[in-house]
């Protein structure tokens, strides 16, 4: 990058990280606090806002529920000065707690349109069936019949569920927000709408499904794992498909 360019354009970077193990019990707000402190420990030259209590310029693509693990979490930061991505990853991983791992550090263009918060449009999940709700690590295989039932579930005209937000309760048809749902070897694969426009959580899908197959939810405890997050593929790019991983932009 040329020096002159650097002066006018801010340097921004997108960090991709994994959250696993006991870190699944750390809520979203605490993950934000965790990364603020990690940036300082790692000596990442992050930029601050002005004012009496300056804070780091940092934004997370999408919160992850407590109990859920993930291979594809993202946060965008603004840098005061450039840093070599490989070095940044190394420095961050040197100060991580077990259960947090930085797997990517990419520079991204400096414009509102490309911020992780605004562009996230979908997320993929893997759902596993547990022997008991007591442990997310001990899984069992899904009943054979479920593969066909998933198809029937998706073939309904609409899938109406009661969606609770902080303020209200509303009946919503979630079918348009389920982009994919299928049985795979490792578990049920879900590809769902995510982001500020439309957002569907995986547990809501599985609740609707268990109701549909008239299964007692207490007997089929699930564990949710987020695989990745996606944006709509920008026009004019070579990538194929409607969605592209946030890490590949």
Partner 1 sequence: MRKLALNDEILLKIEKPARYIGNEVNSVMKDPEKVDIRFAMCFPDVYEIGMSHLGIQILYDMFNRREDVWCERVYSPWVDLDQIMREEQIPLFALESQDPIRDFDFLGITIQYEMCYTNILQILDLSGIPLSARDRDDSVPIVIGGGPCASNPEPLAEFFDLFYIGDGETVYDQLLNAYKENRIAGGSRKDFLEKAAQIEGIYVPGFYEVTYKDDGTIASFTPVNPHAKQVIKKQMVKDLTHTYYPKAPVVPFIKVTQDRVVLEIQRGCIRGCRFCQAGMLYRPTRERDVETLKQYAYQMLKNTGHEEISLSSLSSSDYSQLKELVTFLIEEFKGSGINICLPSLRIDAFSLDVMGKVQDIRKSSLTFAPEAGSQRMRDVINKGLTEEMILDGAGQAFAGGWNKVKLYFMLGLPTETEEDMREIPRLADRIARRYYEIPKEERNGKCQITTSTSFFIPKPFTPFQWAKMYSNEEYIARAAVVKHEFQEQLNRKSLKYHWHDAEVTVLEGVFARGDRRLAEVILAAYRLGCLYDSWTENFDNEKWMKAFADTGTDIGFYNLRERDVGEIFPWDFIDIGVTKEFLYQEWQRALRGEVTPNCREKCSGCGAMRYKGGVCVEDREEVRQGEGTN
Which residues of this chain interact with partner 1, rule CB under 8 A?
Answer: 21-23, 25-27, 30, 33-34, 36-41, 43, 48, 52-56, 66-67, 95, 97-99, 132-137
* Closest separation in Å from C-beta 21 to partner 1: 5
The answer to whether the beta carbons of residues 111 and 249 sit under 8 Å apart is no
- Nearer to partner 1 among residue 2 and residue 22 (C-beta): 22
* Closest separation in Å from C-beta 55 to partner 1: 7
What dihedral do alpha carbons 29, 228, 183, 223 form, nearest 10°? -20
- Nearer to partner 1 among residue 94 and residue 147 (C-beta): 94
3-state secondary structure of 62: coil
- Nearer to partner 1 among residue 27 and residue 63 (C-beta): 27
Q: Which residues fall within 8 angstroms of residue 30, CB to CB, at 6 or more apart? A: none
* Closest separation in Å from C-beta 164 to partner 1: 17
* Closest separation in Å from C-beta 203 to partner 1: 11
Instruction: Specify whether the backbone of 212 is left (phi greater than 0), alpha (psi in -120 to 50) or beta.
Output: alpha
- Nearer to partner 1 among residue 37 and residue 182 (C-beta): 37
Instruction: Specify whether the backbone of 99 is left (phi greater than 0), alpha (psi in -120 to 50) or beta.
Output: left
């Amino acid at each position: 990058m040329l020096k002159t360019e650097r002066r006018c354009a801010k340097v921004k970077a997108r960090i991709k990280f994994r959250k696993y193990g006991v870190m699944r019990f750390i809520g979203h707000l605490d993950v934000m606090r965790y990364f603020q402190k990690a940036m300082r420990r790692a000596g990442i030259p992050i930029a601050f806002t002005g004012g009496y209590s300056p804070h780091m310029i940092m934004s997370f693509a999408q919160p992850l529920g407590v109990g859920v693990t993930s291979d594809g979490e993202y946060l965008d930061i603004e840098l005061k000065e450039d840093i070599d991505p490989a070095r940044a990853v190394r420095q961050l991983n040197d100060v991580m707690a077990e259960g947090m791992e930085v797997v990517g550090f990419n520079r991204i263009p400096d414009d509102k349109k490309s911020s992780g918060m605004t562009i996230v449009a979908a997320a993929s999940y893997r759902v596993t069936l547990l022997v008991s709700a007591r442990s997310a690590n001990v899984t069992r295989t899904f009943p054979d019949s479920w593969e066909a039932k998933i198809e029937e579930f998706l073939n309904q005209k609409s899938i109406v569920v009661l969606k609770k937000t902080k303020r209200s309760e509303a009946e919503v048809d979630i079918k348009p927000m389920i982009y994919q749902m299928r049985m795979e070897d490792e578990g049920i694969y879900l590809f769902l709408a995510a982001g500020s426009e439309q957002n569907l959580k995986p547990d809501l899908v599985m609740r609707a499904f268990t109701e549909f197959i008239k299964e007692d939810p207490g007997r089929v405890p699930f564990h949710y794992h987020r695989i990745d997050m996606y944006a709509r593929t920008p026009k004019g790019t070579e990538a194929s498909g409607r969605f592209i991983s946030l890490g590949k932009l």
